[in-house]
Amino acid sequence: MLRPPAVTELMEDAETVRPDERVLAVARRLDEPGVESVVVVDTGEVVGIVTEADAVALLVEGRDPASLTATAVMSSPVHTVGPGESVVEAAERLRTHGVEALPVVDDGDLLGVVTTTACSQYLPHVRRAAPDADGDDGRVRETERADTAYEKADWSFEYVGHPERIDVGDVVRFSKPLDGAEVEEFADASGDTNRLHLDDEYAKGTRFGRRIVHGTLVAGVVSAALARLPGLIVYLSQEVSYLGPVDIGHRVTAECEVVEVVGEDRYRLTTVVTDGEGEAVVDGEAVVLADPIPETA
Tens of pLDDT, residue by residue over 124-159, are 544 444 444 444 466 777 777 667 888 888 999 999
Asked whether the domain spanning 140-291 has the same topology as the one spanning 7-122, the reply is: no
Distance, in Å, from the CA atom of 150 to the CA atom of 145, rounded to the nearest integer, reads: 9
What CATH fold (topology level) applies to the domain 140-291? Thiol Ester Dehydrase; Chain A (3.10.129)
The torsion angles phi and psi of 118, rounded to 5 degrees, stand at -65, -40
Please give the pLDDT value at position 163. Answer: 77
Please give the pLDDT value at position 124. Answer: 52
Domain boundaries, the chain: 7-122, 140-291
Please give the pLDDT value at position 131. Answer: 46
Q: Which helix (H) or strand (E) holds 266?
A: strand 266-274
Pairing type for strands 16-17 and 37-42 reads: parallel
Q: Structure pTM?
A: 0.60
* % pLDDT > 90, the chain: 50
What CATH fold (topology level) applies to the domain 7-122? CBS-domain (3.10.580)
Show the low-confidence residues of the chain (pLDDT under 50). 1, 125-136, 297
- Cα dist from 75 to 42, 54, 111, 228, 253, whole Å: 14, 8, 19, 44, 38
Please give the pLDDT value at position 142. Answer: 75
- Burial tier of 95 (Cβ tally within 10 Å: 0-12, 13-18, 19+): middle
Please give the pLDDT value at position 60. Answer: 63
- Angle, alpha carbons 152-153-158 (nearest 5°): 80
Please give the pLDDT value at position 276. Answer: 87
